[in-house]
Chain A
C-alpha cells in the first residue's frame, strides 16, 4: 500500500451524519412510483390463480371493452417475444438452468402470464377482473418431503423426482461418517426453517419507457442490481445492451429479493415497447407475497459428534431446500451457503453435508438477508447447546473450548472457507459478560428465564471472481469506482454498487474524502444508473458494497491522491512526499503558507496546462477491484428471555451483539444495520411465516396474516464492536449488512431451551410463536394452567 492509501484519515471511523437524509426526511426522495412521465399507462400483471396447470384458454375480449383499458399482452404473444431468464447461480448438475418469462404450464400461484394496460391502476384492475383464463389443472405438491415421494407430480423433466440439485459438501461422506462413529456422543436433530418474505416496505415496481426513435428502452426499477437487471432484460428481449438503460432511483429497501430481474418486469417492458408510451407497474402488497421470491425454507437432518471432554469431532447436515416452482436466480445457493458456513467458528475433525434442492408448487425461493447463514447458525448453535446439555457443560465454555483461536487464523474449514482474521472467542467472552449486566433481578412473575448464545462467522464481500467461477455463480465478483476531482475542486465518486438504505452515499464519500483531504460535503456519490455508473455485475447484495465497492473507492481515491500531490508538488516546487491535503488545500507539511487550493490543482489538471512531463490531463482515477479473497465477519449474539409457561409467549428482556466487521467506516451506520438485521432476525425467530394450503394457495395476503416485527417486538439492544481489519480488502473493511439477521433465532431458541430445559429437544422449528411454544410446553408437561 502506498503512503497515501494507508494514511489515517479524519472521517473513516467517524459518526458522520448521512448526506442524503434531507431529501428522505422532507418527502423529496424519488422512489419509482413517484415518477410521473407524461402519458403513462398503468399495468396490472395477469397471474396464475392456481398452483399447477396448463393454460388452455385466454380471452381478453371483454376486458378490452372496459373503460380505460388500452391493451392486453397475452401469454402467447409474450412467449413469442421473449427468451428465457437464466438462472445465475448454477450448481453442478442442476436440472433446470433457466425459466420462461411466460410458461405454458404454471407452477405456482402468482406466476406471471400477461399484462393489461389501462389509464389508471383502478381501471386496470377492473379490466383484469374481466380477463378469462382457463387451465387444465394438474396435481400439485407443496411440501418438500412429499415432493420427493414416488407419487408426487413431476414439475420439470430435467429434475426427476423433483430434485433440481443434489450435491455433497465438505469432506467425503465416508470420512464424516467415520468421524461421527469414532466420537463418544452424537446429538442428532431435525430442524425446520420456515418460508419467509423479505418484505421491503416498498414492494417492487418498474416504469418502462421505449423510444422508437432511438430504439432505446429505459427501465426505472426498484432494484438492488441495475446492471444485472439490464443485462438480463436485454437478453430476455433480444436487445443490444447499449440500447437498454436501467435506473434504480431511491429504493425502499431490498433485503435480497430485489437482487435480480423478474419475469413480470420483462413483461411490463414488453408492454411499454408495444404501447409506445411509458408504462408503470407497482407491485401491490398482496401480489408481493406470491410474485416476489421467498427465502429460507429448509429442512436439516443434522448431527454434531463430540467427545466426553467436550471436543467437537464432526458435524454433518443433510439439507432439503424447498426451491419452489423453479430454481430462482440463486437456486440452491442458500443451501450451498448453509452447508458451507455450517462449521461456524469451531474446529472439527471432519465436517460435511448434502444439499438437495427440491421443486414444489410455491413461489420460487431466492435471496434473503442472511442467505443460508441464518439456517447454518440455527442448526449448529442449537446442536452446540444440546451437546452442552448432554455433557452438563456450560454452553459458553463448550463454545470457547472448540473455537478457532486467533493464533490459528487464517484457517481453512472443511468446506474450503479461508477464514481470514479475528478473535472469535473475544466476541463470545464480551457478549457473555454483557448479557448478564444490567439484567434486573427477575421478578417473581411465574415466568421462566434463560440466556442463549449464538456465535457465527459470516461470509461477506461476494467475490473474488475466481471464487465465483469455482462455485458456478455467474456474476463477476469485482466492483468499479471512478473518483474524479472536478475542475471546481469538489469530488465525484461513481460507483457500481446501488444503495437502498445502507447509507453508501455517505460511507463511500467518507473513504474518498479522507483520501482526498476534502470535507464530506465536497464529495458526491453517484450510483444507480447504468448510463452513468460503472459496470457492476453483482450490485448491492451479499454484504459486499463496502468491502468490494469500498475497496475500489479506496484504491481509486488513493491513486488520485498521488496524482494530486505530484501535480501540487510541481506547482509548489516541493517534493510530493512533503505535502498533505487539509480541507481542500494542498500544503507543505508543517508549513501552511506554502499551499495551493485543490481547486487550483484541479483547474490546472483539467486545462492540462503546465503539467509535469508525462502527466496525463485530468484528475480522475478508475479502479476495478476484484478482491484478493473473501472477508469473514463474525459475532456472538446473546439473548435473555422470559417465557410464559401458560401462554408460550417469549419476551426478549435483553439483547446483546458483539461484532467484528473489520474497519468500521461509519459506526452510526454499522449500528443501524445491526439493529435492523436483528429486528428481521426476531421476525424470523418469533413471528413470520408464509403458509400455503394443500392445493398451493397462499394463506397469506396481508400484513395481518404475515406478522412483521413492530417496535413492540424489537427491544433496544447493546451493540459493541471490535475491529480486526480484513487483510484482503483495501481499507480493511469486512461486510456487515446481513450479520444482524443471522443469529437471533438461534440465540433466542437457545435462551428458550435454557429457560425450559424440559423442552430443549423440541426447540427445532421457527417461528417460535406462542402457540408453537405452548405446544412444546404442553407436550413436555410443563405448561401451566394460568
Chain B
C-alpha cells in the first residue's frame, strides 16, 4: 500500500539492492536498523549531534537519523556491515582494534563510516582528524581514536 504517507523505497545497501515499503516519515536510521535489521548503525541522539548513526550515502558520510526514507531512494547506502569484506577486518577496523580505539563500541560504527568516507575521498590524515568532532564517544576520551586514525592513514600512505 502506498499513499502520500507511505512510499516504496528502492536503494542499494552495501551493494545489495533492497526494496522497502515504509512510512515517509521513517528515518533512514530506523529503515536500516529495523526494516532491514542492519543494526550495526546505532542511534544516540536523533538530533544530529552524536554521529553514532553516520552512514555513507553515495560515498559521503551523513547522519542517517536526519534523513527520511524516501531520500535514499535510488541511492547507494553503505553501513558498517559492509566494511569487513569476506569476514576479515579492513585496515581501518584493524587500526581501531590495535590502538584500542573503542570501548563499549556504540559510537564506533559511525566513526568508521566517517573515516571510510574520508579515506575513499583521498582526504588527508588532518582532514580525517578534523572530521572527528562530529562524533561523540563517552568511553575512549578520543585519545586512542586519534591514534587509530593516525595508524590507519600511515598504513595507507605506506602501502
Q: Are chains A and B touching in the complex at the 8 Å CB cutoff? A: yes
Contacts of A252 in B (CB 8 A): 42, 44, 104-106
A438, CB-defined interface residue at 8 Å: no
Please measure, in the bound complex, the distance between the C-alpha atom of A91 and the C-alpha atom of B108, giving whole angstroms: 40
Query: Closest CB of chain A to B91's CB: distance in Å?
Result: 12
B33 touches A716 (CB 8 A): no
Please measure, in the bound complex, the distance between the C-alpha atom of A22 and the C-alpha atom of B87, giving whole angstroms: 10
B45 touches A702 (CB 8 A): yes
Please measure, in the bound complex, the distance between the C-alpha atom of A312 and the C-alpha atom of B34, giving whole angstroms: 61
B100 touches A24 (CB 8 A): no
Q: Can you list, as one digit per residue, whether each of B95-136 has a CB less than 8 Å from chain A (1) or not (0)?
A: 011101011111111001000000000000000010011011
A234, CB-defined interface residue at 8 Å: no
A676 touches B103 (CB 8 A): yes
Interface residues of A in 693-737 (CB under 8 A from B): 702-704, 708, 710-712, 714, 716-717
Q: Can you list, as one digit per residue, whether each of B20-62 has a CB less than 8 Å from chain A (1) or not (0)?
A: 0001011000100110011111111111011010000000000
Q: Can you list, as one digit per residue, whether each of B69-105 has a CB less than 8 Å from chain A (1) or not (0)?
A: 0000000000111011000010001001110101111
Please measure, in the bound complex, the distance between the C-alpha atom of A367 and the C-alpha atom of B140, giving whole angstroms: 20
B46 touches A285 (CB 8 A): yes
B141 touches A677 (CB 8 A): yes
Query: Closest CB of chain B to A293's CB: distance in Å?
Result: 16
B143 touches A714 (CB 8 A): yes
B146, CB-defined interface residue at 8 Å: yes
Residue total for A at the interface (Cβ-Cβ under 8 A): 55
Q: Which 3 A-B pairs have the closest CB atoms?
A: A27-B40, A24-B105, A252-B106
Given A285-B47, A676-B141, is A36 in contact with B80 using a C-beta cutoff of 8 Å?
no
- Most B CB contacts (10 A, CB to CB) among A25, A28, A122, A253 go to A25
A253 touches B39 (CB 8 A): no
Which of A26, A203, A253, A284 is the one whose CB lies under 8 Å from B104? A253
Contacts of B33 in A (CB 8 A): 33-34
Please measure, in the bound complex, the distance between the C-alpha atom of A716 and the C-alpha atom of B107, giving whole angstroms: 19
Which of A17, A34, A680 is the one whose CB lies under 8 Å from B39? A34
B100 touches A672 (CB 8 A): yes
Q: Interface with B: A135-143, A331-339, A495-503, A520-528, which one? A: A495-503
B144, CB-defined interface residue at 8 Å: yes
Please measure, in the bound complex, the distance between the C-alpha atom of A740 and the C-alpha atom of B40, giving whole angstroms: 29
Interface SS, B side: loop
A122 touches B25 (CB 8 A): yes
Contacts of A30 in B (CB 8 A): 39
Query: Closest CB of chain A to B61's CB: distance in Å?
Result: 15
Contacts of B133 in A (CB 8 A): 710-712
Q: Nearest CB to that of A17 among chain B residues?
A: B97
A433, CB-defined interface residue at 8 Å: no
Which of B40, B52, B129, B138 is the one whose CB lies under 8 Å from A680? B138
A201 touches B137 (CB 8 A): yes
Contacts of A500 in B (CB 8 A): 104
A166, CB-defined interface residue at 8 Å: no
A711 touches B142 (CB 8 A): yes
B47 touches A18 (CB 8 A): no
Chain B residues within 8 Å of A, Cβ to Cβ? 23, 25-26, 30, 33-34, 37-47, 49-50, 52, 79-81, 83-84, 89, 93, 96-98, 100, 102-109, 112, 129, 132-133, 135-146
| 26 A–B pairs (Cβ distance < 8 Å), ordered by A | A17-B97, A25-B93, A25-B97, A25-B102, A26-B84, A30-B39, A33-B39, A122-B25, A200-B104, A250-B104, A253-B106, A253-B139, A285-B46, A501-B103, A672-B141, A675-B140, A675-B142, A679-B138, A679-B141, A702-B45, A703-B45, A703-B47, A708-B136, A708-B138, A711-B129, A712-B133
Given A31-B39, A672-B103, A710-B136, is A21 in contact with B44 using a C-beta cutoff of 8 Å?
no
Query: Closest CB of chain A to B38's CB: distance in Å?
Result: 7
B81 touches A26 (CB 8 A): yes
Contacts of B93 in A (CB 8 A): 25-26
A360, CB-defined interface residue at 8 Å: no
A29, CB-defined interface residue at 8 Å: yes
Contacts of B143 in A (CB 8 A): 672, 675, 714, 716-717
Q: Can you list, as one digit per residue, whether each of A225-258 has a CB less than 8 Å from chain B (1) or not (0)?
A: 0000000000000000000000000111101000
New A-B contacts (17) at CB < 8 Å, excluding given A501-B103, A711-B145: A21-B105, A24-B104, A25-B93, A25-B105, A36-B37, A201-B42, A201-B106, A251-B104, A252-B44, A252-B105, A253-B106, A285-B44, A673-B103, A702-B49, A703-B49, A710-B132, A710-B142
Query: Closest CB of chain A to B148's CB: distance in Å?
Result: 10
Please measure, in the bound complex, the distance between the C-alpha atom of A712 and the C-alpha atom of B100, giving whole angstroms: 19
Given A201-B104, A285-B47, A676-B103, is A27 in contact with B140 using a C-beta cutoff of 8 Å?
no
Please measure, in the bound complex, the distance between the C-alpha atom of A201 and the C-alpha atom of B112, giving whole angstroms: 16
A676 touches B140 (CB 8 A): yes
A672 touches B97 (CB 8 A): no
Please measure, in the bound complex, the distance between the C-alpha atom of A202 and the C-alpha atom of B104, giving whole angstroms: 9
Please measure, in the bound complex, the distance between the C-alpha atom of A251 and the C-alpha atom of B142, giving whole angstroms: 19
Q: Nearest CB to that of A708 among chain B residues?
A: B136
Contacts of B102 in A (CB 8 A): 21, 24-25
